[in-house]
Structure 1
Amino acid sequence: MILCLPLSLYYQTGHLHNFISSILICLLGGGLLLFAARNMDLTVNKREGYLIVVLAWLTLWVSCALPYYISGEIGSITDIFFETMSGLTTTGATIINDIEALPRDILFWRSFTQWLGGMGIIVLTVALLPLLGIGGIELFVAEAPGPTSEKLHPRIKDTAKALWFIYLGFTLLLWFLLWWNGMDWFDGINHALTTMATGGFSTKNASIAYYSPQIQYITAVFMLLAGVNYSLHYLALRGKFKTVFKSDELRSYFYMVSVLTLIITVAVFQVTDITIEKAFRDSLFQIASIITTTGFVTADYTSWDPSITAVFFLLLFMGACAGSTAGGIKMIRHTVLFKNSILEFKRLLHPRAMIRLKLNGRIVPPRVLTHILVFFLLYIGTFIFGTIIVIIAGEDLLTAAGAVATSISNVGPGIGEVGPVNNFATMNGFTKWFLSLIMLIGRLELFTVFIIFTPYFWKNS
């Protein structure tokens, strides 16, 4: 929040005291908790790690809402908490009809919450605040996006630091490129923050469609980079390109983007009167935006053709690579499930053969495969249950399905009344609170939240 103070002074928004008040409240609350825990055992086991992550995100939800509440820029408590959760979970769904009317310090805070949520505030804490004296690995595993958390260094805080330095470096590079290609410095930093977070908050009502084709191409490239496992970015920076290109998930990710871009480009060119270049640009951008769960918009894909809309709806469940800032099911889970399904046919023909599933040349343990299958079941079950609840709350089937799918996958735009040119402002209060919870469940990969509601979690043994 301190970063917002210079903007409040420079642009004379009148919110300087509001941010100072928010800062003092956070310092007071944090200080009291730290004082209360001064003589406690700070050893963290795996069970406590899951609980800490959930409680930390709920605490963040409240503290990050303070600038909105104290400034009065967003009207109701429901809308404040919806916008805050959408930011922290990098969903990008919004209830604000006129984004450009917001003061610049509030716009920056809105974007910055996404940047923090992108890699995860817990990873940031483990990396930069070792003075807390708590064990970090339990928090990192519960927080890091994806089914696995590959350690780049033996010490967990060094791993977190490596991830954050890469994250920061990409953000600064994108900021420079956007500014160099005509975006002003303020819009540039906001879009750099939300692009690398795969969040999708924009400073313009028209989103990235407001800007030039060059900026759209640059943003598309960096969205795709943000969707790559950060461990692979680290290895690439170390010159280990051979290891990077061996990644089955990375190949699946770029194959899918390439093939879908080609197919959608041809389809869009046939059903619209735009040029082939614009059809390619819009197709590439929207596929990159949805598959990486960023949610930026350059075109209304629901207006192209019903079959194309169906493809984009399915992409809401896809997700980019594990270990990236993207939401969704993740490409690695789809890859494992697809490979195992193909092998199952082979097993039927050769029932006595020992046919093992391999990923990146290594055998996938049965426990991991079971974990992925259960994740799929929970994901689809949560989507179906959530859709039914939203329908009961008063929305039509198309809108309910689109809203729940985009919330659990942390994408932003969906289909129906929450499509790429609409927002969530017209939904009733209950639906907004419910979708906020769905966003959190999706951001923390389902298990982290659901596990604390099981009886096994609370047993001592």
Structure 2
Amino acid sequence: MRRYQIVLLILGSLCLGLAGLAGLMGMISHTWAGDGAAGGFAECAVIAGFAGGLMTLVGIGAREELEFRSAVSLTVGAWIGLPLLASLPFTAGPDALSFTDAVFESISGFTTTGSTVMTGLDATAPTLLLWRAILQWIGGIGIIGLSIAILPFLRIGGMQLFQLESSDRSSDRIIARPGNLAVGIVSLYVALTLLCTFGYAFTGMTAFEAICHAMTTVSTGGYSTSDASMGHFSAGAQWVSIVFMLGGAIPFLAYVRILTRNARNRPGAFEEVRGLFVLVALFTAFLLTAQVMAGIYSGDSVRLALFNTVAIITTTGYAAGDYQLWGPLAMAAVFTLTFLGGCAGSTAGGFKVFRIQIILRSIWRALQQAPLPHSVVTAHHAGQKLSNSDIASVALFGGLYVTTFAAASIALAALGLDFETAITGAATAIANVGPGLGSVIGPAGNFATLPDAAKWLLGVVMILGRLEIIVILLLFTPRFWGR
């Protein structure tokens, strides 16, 4: 038990933080907004505060360091426990959701997926809309921390390539002390959010709309204050959104390297970023071609093609125009984009650009080696030589990713969903994108009409996708528990 005291101490602190935030939102709802949502926030504050206080008391006196099992347990506990507690404000007030819908909305928020069961957003209680945005904003910074501090050391899916302390040489370290790195990352995250807020306000959004959308843009979450998503706002707002969605999908360590002038010591430091921009350009061209083929090309086509490409590949999931009306090429391109994702160490989900690059280079290495089986051919990524274990790790993750997607698709179909809804629902959940395709969960619809069992299943898949699948599977292995 002593081994997991540190886990309880940290989880307790997180719950107490959530309780404080819910209490603040309840006060805003009661004294300023008067939107009737204060009761749900009070309930969340009391329950989260009690749970957090209990865990903190048990965890007092814990050892400071996190071991492998502790890190995994903390990660899974936080990404399951916090969404359950944060769902409580959605279950009370004039816009009350069922428990299933509330948990779905909360999980979608924390994982920055952006799938929603809420309708009538334009008339929804303002504090609930702000709560949704805050959940995605918190989830975004949590994802960055997970990608930088935990996953590389668990050697999951090739993430070990981004391990900070890979060498004893100080030149290989971005910032000497982890505390400084954490402060730098959080400062950058806040700065990007503020800049995005000002950008949105400049394009005509109200202060409330600008704040909410800034939090869900930089976190690549995609929750909006309107049922029409970004289609409700001006073309200028959509251009601002494009810039900051890409900003959220770029590795935050890349920003730190630029600011600390460390990039010049890291050959290929921005290789994944270049790959992301290449994919954006390629799929924007596909969507433009689709509009030409469908005979609906207009002066807005470039903006809409670029906006929707960026929204999907960064896994933000905002909608502006229904790309389902652009023909089969657009549908195929969007479905493919759903799986790709942004860069490692960013707020974006998906398969990640670096894994695509590693797979392509591994295939090229195999083709070069095939005529001369005994020759030595190496593959590199971001200035690092790829070992066989690195390639195998990415291949293993790819296999698990496809298997999880297929299993979720079959399970959703077994629950009565049509083929298009089942297959794109599974894809959007595991990639943490948001909207799927079709008349039900497409950009013009939402997930409200799905059966409860499907919503719970999609919630599980969202968490699996966000935690890179293997983190969850570790809990089901006897060796993990020391047996």
**How does the TM-score come out when normalised to structure 1?**
0.92
1:414 counterpart SS class = coil
Deviations 1:87-137 (A, max 9, x none): 00000001112112210001100111001111217949xxxxxxxxxxx95
| Equivalent residue number for residue 442 of structure 1 | 465
| Equivalent residue number for residue 357 of structure 2 | 335
Matches of 1:284 and 1:245, distance apart in 2: 26
| Equivalent residue number for residue 414 of structure 1 | 436
Contact 1:146 1:330 in 2 (8 A): no
Aligned match for 1:20, one of 37, 42, 64: 42
Contact 1:86 1:93 in 2 (8 A): yes
Matches of 2:151 and 2:247, distance apart in 1: 25
Q: Which amino acid aligns with 1:227?
A: A
Q: Which residues of 2 match residues 177-216 of structure 1 at below 5 A? A: 177-216=199-238
Contact 1:90 1:200 in 2 (8 A): yes
Shift of 1:141: 5.0
Shift of 1:69: 2.2
Shift of 1:40: 4.5
Contact 1:146 1:322 in 2 (8 A): no
1:200 counterpart SS class = coil
Q: Which amino acid aligns with 2:316?
A: T
Shift of 1:274: 4.0
% identical aligned pairs: 32
Q: Which residues of 2 match residues 305-316 of structure 1 at below 5 A? A: 305-316=327-338
| Equivalent residue number for residue 147 of structure 1 | 159
| Equivalent residue number for residue 131 of structure 1 | none
Matches of 1:239 and 1:6, distance apart in 2: 44
Deviations 1:301-343 (A, max 9, x none): 1221112101110111100111110000000000000111111
Shift of 1:39: 4.2
| Equivalent residue number for residue 395 of structure 2 | 373
Q: Which amino acid aligns with 1:285?
A: F
1:94 equivalenced with 2:116 (yes/no): yes
Higher alpha-carbon deviation: 147-156 or 354-363: 147-156
Q: What is the Cα-based RMSD across aligned positions, in Å?
A: 2.4
Q: Which amino acid aligns with 1:61?
A: P
Matches of 1:220 and 1:138, distance apart in 2: 29
Shift of 1:427: 0.5
Contact 2:152 2:163 in 1 (8 A): no
Q: Which amino acid aligns with 1:93?
A: S
Contact 2:323 2:330 in 1 (8 A): yes
Q: Which residues of 2 match residues 199-278 of structure 1 at below 5 A? A: 199-239=221-261, 242=264, 243=266, 246-275=269-298, 277-278=299-300
2:320 counterpart SS class = coil
Shift of 1:296: 0.1
Matches of 1:56 and 1:436, distance apart in 2: 15
| Equivalent residue number for residue 300 of structure 1 | 322
Higher alpha-carbon deviation: 403-412 or 257-266: 257-266
Contact 1:393 1:430 in 2 (8 A): yes
Q: 1:23 to 1:244 in 2, by over 3 A?
A: farther
Higher alpha-carbon deviation: 322-331 or 20-29: 20-29
Shift of 1:221: 1.2
1:4 equivalenced with 2:20 (yes/no): no
Deviations 1:162-210 (A, max 9, x none): 2111111100100011111211100000000000110000001100011
Unaligned 5+ segments in structure 1 are 125-135
Q: Which residues of 2 match residues 3-82 of structure 1 at below 5 A? A: 3-5=24-26, 7-8=28-29, 9-41=31-63, 43-71=65-93, 73-82=95-104
Shift of 1:32: 1.1
1:114 equivalenced with 2:143 (yes/no): no
Matches of 1:367 and 1:170, distance apart in 2: 36
2:140 counterpart SS class = helix
Q: 1:137 to 1:94 in 2, by over 3 A?
A: closer
Q: Which amino acid aligns with 1:399?
A: T
Shift of 1:273: 2.8
Q: 1:112 to 1:213 in 2, by over 3 A?
A: same
Unaligned 5+ segments in structure 2 are 1-20, 165-173
1:317 counterpart SS class = helix
Contact 1:322 1:331 in 2 (8 A): yes
Higher alpha-carbon deviation: 294-303 or 113-122: 113-122
Aligned match for 2:455, one of 404, 412, 432: 432
Q: Which amino acid aligns with 1:23?
A: A
Q: 1:52 to 1:140 in 2, by over 3 A?
A: farther
Higher alpha-carbon deviation: 103-112 or 229-238: 229-238
Total equivalences in the alignment: 449
Higher relative contact order structure (alpha carbons within 8 Å, sequence separation ≥ 6): 1
Q: 1:423 to 1:146 in 2, by over 3 A?
A: farther
Matches of 1:447 and 1:164, distance apart in 2: 27
Aligned match for 1:386, one of 408, 414, 427: 408
Matches of 2:96 and 2:370, distance apart in 1: 59
Shift of 1:71: 3.4
Matches of 1:284 and 1:52, distance apart in 2: 38
1:434 counterpart SS class = helix
Matches of 1:160 and 1:392, distance apart in 2: 44
Contact 1:120 1:144 in 2 (8 A): no
| Equivalent residue number for residue 127 of structure 1 | none
Shift of 1:64: 0.6
